[in-house]
């Protein structure tokens, strides 16, 4: 039987890790009846979203004859009749702005497979939005945090990435049946006994020898930086993005004051506003879990003991400024 697992995100839910480790171990996976095809310039399958979403970073030669449509035709012709499980993974499948995948068209392309499972992993909106802002900060393109939050609350988007998980589900339903969609929570998958990959396998029914997989090299790990240290370093180096060394230096200064507390770029009021904004949406998508599935709920942001942006005093800013001045 030809089975397709279509992993559509969300962004910032360990997708890069899953894509890299599956790509690295694709030969081992193939020996166990699982195909993770090598498509495009990176381990993800973003190239398959280009019939609907522009991606100028993908050079034309990656598509081969016929461009994006020709590539899709070859993927279906090569994989849809095999007695195997095929995994296609790309977060842009779940993007909704400024361009979105036509789910009716996508579902029609997948119809050659005997069975299709669409996987969407949700993350609480406070941590999801923060992670998106941090990604933008790496390139110096992050907007002021208060403006970023205001847009997220108004549009339900963070840099074009949807924060409303129920809206994403409704978008998926335009092409796929409810029974074909699997929903999961990022924290529940990540903190399970076999980690994120083990949680993904359990969710999709994959039986893989996890202990035999080659782990990712340390330099390939996508480790999130200290959020508040990144924000402070960004302000110190504006308009240039901060170096990793600067973020680490600020992080060490913060560790002296807040040695064991988690840190967040938002204020307590911004956190509360994000929770209020998306609470009903989260409850609605949780109610859609399939009977018999592992209980699904969007893990709430436990912000009570976080060090937030509004807790920073002028004394802290002065200390950082003095340190940066003497280090220069």
| Span 270-313, pLDDT tens digits | 999 999 999 999 999 999 875 445 567 899 887 778 999 999 88
> Does pTM surpass 0.85?
yes
Region 2-17: mean pLDDT is 97
Query: How close are the terminal C-alpha atoms of the chain, in Å?
Result: 63
Distance CA(178)–CA(57), nearest Å, equals 34
Q: Which residues pair with 88 in a beta bridge?
A: 6
| Span 127-149, pLDDT tens digits | 999 999 999 998 888 999 999 99
| Span 171-226, pLDDT tens digits | 999 999 999 999 999 999 999 999 999 999 999 999 999 999 999 997 666 677 89
Contacts for 16-23: CB closer than 8 Å, 24+ residues apart? 16/43, 16/44, 16/222, 17/196, 17/197, 17/216, 17/221, 17/222, 18/89, 18/196, 18/197, 18/200, 19/43, 19/44, 19/45, 19/89, 20/216, 20/220, 21/197, 21/213, 21/215, 21/216, 22/87, 22/89
Residue ranges of the domains in the chain?
Answer: 3-123+161-220
DSSP string of 300-315? PP--TT-B-GGG--HH
């Amino acid at each position: 039987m030809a089975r397709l697992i279509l992993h559509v995100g969300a962004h910032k839910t360990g997708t890069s890790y899953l894509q890299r480790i599956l790509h690295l171990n694709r030969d081992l996976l193939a020996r166990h009846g699982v195909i993770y095809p090598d498509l495009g310039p990176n381990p993800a399958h973003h190239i398959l979203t280009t019939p609907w979403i522009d991606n100028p970073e993908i050079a034309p030669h990656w598509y081969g004859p016929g461009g994006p449509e020709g590539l899709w035709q070859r993927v279906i012709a090569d994989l849809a009749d095999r007695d195997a499980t095929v995994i296609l993974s790309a977060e842009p499948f779940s993007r909704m702005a400024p361009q979105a995948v036509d789910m009716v068209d996508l579902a029609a392309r997948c119809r050659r497979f005997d069975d299709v499972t669409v996987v969407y992993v949700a993350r609480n909106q406070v941590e999801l939005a923060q992670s998106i802002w941090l990604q933008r900060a790496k390139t110096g393109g992050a907007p002021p945090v208060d403006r970023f939050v205001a847009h997220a609350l108004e549009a339900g988007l963070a840099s074009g990435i949807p924060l409303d998980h129920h809206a994403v589900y409704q978008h998926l339903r335009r092409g796929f049946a409810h029974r074909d969609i699997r929903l999961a929570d990022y924290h529940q998958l990540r903190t399970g006994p076999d980690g994120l990959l083990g949680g993904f396998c359990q969710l999709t029914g994959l039986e893989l020898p996890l202990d035999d997989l080659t782990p990712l090299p340390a330099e390939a790990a996508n480790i999130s930086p200290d959020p508040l240290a990144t924000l402070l370093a960004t302000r110190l180096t504006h308009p240039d993005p901060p170096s990793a060394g600067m973020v680490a230096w600020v992080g060490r200064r913060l560790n002296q004051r807040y040695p064991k507390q988690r840190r967040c770029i938002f204020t307590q009021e911004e956190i509360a506003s994000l929770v209020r904004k998306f609470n009903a949406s989260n409850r609605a998508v949780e109610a859609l879990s399939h009977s018999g599935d592992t209980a699904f709920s969007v893990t709430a942001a436990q912000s009570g003991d976080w060090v937030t942006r509004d807790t920073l005093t002028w004394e802290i800013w002065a200390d950082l400024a003095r340190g940066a001045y003497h280090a220069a």
